[in-house]
Amino acid sequence: MSTRAAARVAAPTRREQILKEAARLFAERGFHGVGVDEIGAAVGISGPGLYRHFPGKDAMLAELLVGISERLLAGGQLRVSEDAASADGSPEALLDALIEGHIDFALDDRPLITLHDRELDRLRDTDRKRVRRLQREYVEVWVAVVRDLYPQLPEHEARATVHAVFGLLNSTPHLGRPGALPGRADTAALLHRLARGAFAAAGTV
């Protein structure tokens, strides 16, 4: 079983369950609109019981936003390295792998996109700077692959296109309630076509 497959089947820990419910509640009602007791109730433990896992809501928010930035970067680097080592390690295959990974995030972790947009400024300065640094590194993983596929595309335009594609893929919280979306496979396929179309348009110079 591959590393990615193993990650999918691993049962979530209690800490992960708390973070998932905290993300959902923060995204639905805002950081200040949710109490510790409500987060505890969502995972079946008392509010004070949460303090065995986190010192408070601020720590949950920091772990959510820093954590997803770390996972996106690590996942992007892993996909590129795994696909580069495979029989089809072409730039096109590498870009497809990156797009697929980000689509998984955009469809499965929609509350985290909302949290990032609304609550990033609530992080401590050190955590906010860490998130920004990780995001810059993640962008550069994409830029390297995009420029391999479209060598005629200037670096600054490749970087701008990557940011634009992130905006496109990260629009999922605005597409309606999860149940209102088309089937997951159809939505993923549509997002993939749109992303590849954006890169192809940018690469036509």
Query: What tens digit of pLDDT does each residue of 112-153 get?
Result: 999 999 999 999 999 999 999 999 999 999 999 999 999 999
* Whether the predicted pLDDT of 8 surpasses 60: no
Kindly give the residue spans of alpha helices, DSSP state H, lying in the chain. 3-9, 14-29, 36-43, 57-84, 91-108, 110-119, 125-149, 155-169, 184-203
Per-residue pLDDT of 16-38, as tens digits, reads 999 999 999 999 999 999 999 89
What does the pLDDT average to over 76-101? 86
CA dihedral sign of residues 24, 28, 30, 36: negative
Mean of all residue pLDDT scores within the chain: 89
pLDDT of residue 176: 67
* Whether the predicted pLDDT of 74 surpasses 50: yes
C-alpha to C-alpha distance for 195 and 192, rounded to whole angstroms:
5
Q: Which of 12-21, 47-56, 151-160 shows the lowest mean pLDDT across its residues? A: 47-56
Q: Are 32 and 77 in contact (CB under 8 A)?
A: no
The residue with greater pLDDT, 65 or 4, is: 65
